Amino acid sequence: MQRLRNIKSVLAIGVLLSALSLPVFSQESQDQQDKNQRDRMATTLTGCLNKDTSGSYVLTDASGMKTTVSGAADLEKHSSNHKVTLTGMTKTDASGKPVFEVTKLTHVSDTCTTQ
């Protein structure tokens, strides 16, 4: 009889621990879903990276179109007219201007020319 009670106690504790761990797994799944959605929404730009007179980073593509860029990527290292491919999303800054927020930078060349 005592042994049966012990088994029931162990089973009850196991069920309780399993139930308590469910939110952890569902949160991890939600985080992964959010990351996957951001990855699907990301775009890629390639061009010459420089700094303008205000100190902002600017990417100029092959057609001559200029895009202001920001982000955690190593922009400074490549801001001396390197050709780069940037991955990220366009957002709006505090003044309402579009800014491409970089999540990934891929170095293409140490030199770059635009038309």
Query: 22-63, pLDDT tens digit by residue?
Result: 565 556 566 666 555 555 679 999 999 999 999 999 999 999
Residue pLDDT, tens place only, 83-111: 999 999 999 988 999 999 999 999 999 99
| pLDDT reported for residue 41 | 74
Q: Could you state, in order of their start, the residue ranges of all structural domains in the chain?
A: 1-41, 43-109
Query: Could you tell me the pTM of the whole model?
Result: 0.64
| pLDDT reported for residue 9 | 67
pLDDT higher than threshold 80 for residue 21: no
Nearest to 44 by CA among 14, 85, 3: 85
Task: Write the CB contacts of 99 (distance below 8 Å, at least 6 apart in sequence).
Answer: 68, 69, 70, 90, 91, 92, 93
CATH architecture of residue range(s) 43-109: Beta Barrel (2.40)
**Angstrom distances, CA of residue 114 to CA of 33, 58, 82, 105, 108:** 38, 13, 11, 19, 14
